Amino acid sequence: MLDSDEQDKTSCSLAFVSSAFNEEENLEELYRQCLHAFEEICGRLPGRQLTFSMILVDNSSLDRTPEVIQQLMRQDPRVKGIRNFRNYGPEPSFVQGLRLAESDLIVMLCADLQDPPEVAGQMVQKLISDPLKPDAVFGCKRRSAGSPLIKSFRKLYYRMLSFSDRDTQVFPGFHGFGCYRRDVINQALDFWSDTAMTLRQCLASASINPGIVSYVQPERLRGQSSYRFMGYFSEASAGIITGKSLASRVSLRLGFTIFIASILVGAFILVNFATGHSGYAQGVPTLALLILLSSAFQVIMLSLVSRQIENGLHQPMRPTVRFRTL
């Protein structure tokens, strides 16, 4: 495998990897746009020798998606396709495509064209020619499609994602769309196998020096997304719950909140007693204060124990993806 310096001076291979579920209306256009983006990159970088390939993973679609992939494969032998035996969800499908990709540079994008291939072209150019030598370029949505409610939940999700894991920074608007060097993909796949992190967390953790390309996510023009509110909610919950620091951070903040509350309650009782307005039975205020203080210290200790547990390995529960070559 070429390192970043050697790769920038010699020829390198570029693969576009996408997962598709009921995307028969989008795949031909996706192929055309990816090929056009590749040709534009070659035109902007005449000193580089790039080779094109595309991997399409059909996630057990119910429409003509596998037939369209086979048609593209006959049209262009650089296109490879596989079909999952059942619907494993988008992330395991993407992982399977990344495992099959053997290129030096890999672009990961959704098949619904809401990850614009022309933006992917900008990412590839930045990855190759940026003097800062990034090992990945993340696509981050500065404005996205969807209802105001979905957009509000999306902003909250990224805040909670950062809160739940002190070791992984997932940039707001990043969902996996990006261009990656082969070593970053290899590291991300290791994280996927050895941890319970989501794919976007694995990619963010694997990149040491990422670049950023911001873009406006277009509306979906063809077909209908299989993701609904519960789909987004499940994905968001998985990302937050699997964060290594969630338990310790929540319990620590809860402990300090209870501790401050006990101080305020104690001050309130003391003021009432000093002004002669205390109507409590003897011993009740003291008992209540002791209970609050005890609860605070117990929760704080729980946060310390949680932090120690978080330092251990998080074993994943991944499905075994079974597929056949198209």
What are the residue ranges spanned by the domains of the chain? 7-244, 246-310
Predicted confidence (pLDDT) per residue in 63-75, tens digit: 999 999 999 999 9
Q: Give the list of residues 6+ apart from residue 189 with CB closer than 8 angstroms, or none.
A: 95, 98, 99, 202
pLDDT over threshold 50, residue 196 = yes
| 23: Cβ contacts below 8 Å, ≥ 6 apart | 30, 61, 65, 111, 112, 223
**Averaged confidence pLDDT in the chain:** 79
| Beta bridge partners of residue 57, listed in sequence order | 19, 82
Q: Which residues lie closer than 8 Å to 93 by C-beta, 6 or more apart?
A: 19, 21, 57, 59, 84, 321
- Of the pLDDT bands very low, low, confident and very high (cuts 50, 70, 90), residue 8 is very low
Residue 136 to residue 170: CA distance in whole angstroms: 13
Whole-angstrom Cα distance, residue 210 to residue 219? 27
Look at the block and give the residue holding tokens 């909140």.
257
The percentage of the chain sitting over the pLDDT mark of 70, rounded to a whole number, equals 64
pLDDT at res. 219:
79
**Angle subtended by helix axes 117-129 and 27-44, to nearest 10:** 30
Q: Quick check: 29 pLDDT over 90?
A: yes
Query: Alpha-carbon distance 153 to 224, whole Å?
Result: 21
Half-sphere exposure of 143 (CA within 13 A, CB side): 3
Q: Does 214 or 162 have the greater pLDDT score?
A: 214
Please state which of the ranges 83-92, 193-202, 237-246, 255-264 shows the lowest mean pLDDT. 237-246
Amino acid residing at 157: Y
Is 53 a residue whose pLDDT tops 60?
Answer: yes
User: What is the pLDDT at residue 262?
Assistant: 74
From the list 208, 224, 213, 191, the residue with the least C-alpha distance to 109 is 213
How far is 81 from 64, CA to CA, in rounded Å?
Answer: 14
Angle at 208 between CA 205 and CA 214, to 5 degrees: 85
Please name every residue paired with 108 in a beta bridge, in sequence order, or none if there are none.
17, 178
* Least confident residue range of 95-99, 152-156, 192-196: 152-156
Mean pLDDT of 176-200: 91
Q: What angle in degrees, to the nearest 10, is found between the helix axes of 199-206 and 90-100?
A: 40
pLDDT tens digits, one per residue of 272-323: 766 766 666 666 666 766 777 777 667 666 665 665 555 554 455 566 566 6
Q: What is the pLDDT of residues 103-159, one digit of tens each?
A: 999 999 999 999 999 999 899 989 988 888 999 999 988 766 556 665 666 666 556
| pLDDT at residue 174, as a whole number | 86
Pseudo-torsion of CA 196, 200, 202, 205, nearest 10°? -130
Measured CA to CA, the distance from residue 88 to residue 126 in angstroms comes to: 33
Average pLDDT over residues 77-94: 92
Q: Residue 228's pLDDT is what?
A: 53
Say yes or no to pLDDT of 6 above 50: no
Pick from 317, 314, 321, 315: nearest CA to 89 = 321
Residue 3 scores a pLDDT above 70: no
Q: What is the average per-residue pLDDT within 190-209?
A: 87
The first and second tokens of residue 228, run together, are 């609904």
- 7-244, CATH topology level: Spore Coat Polysaccharide Biosynthesis Protein SpsA; Chain A (3.90.550)
Burial category of 1 from C-beta neighbours within 10 Å (exposed 0-12, middle 13-18, buried 19 and up)? exposed
Tell me, what's the pLDDT at 272?
74
pLDDT of residue 170: 65
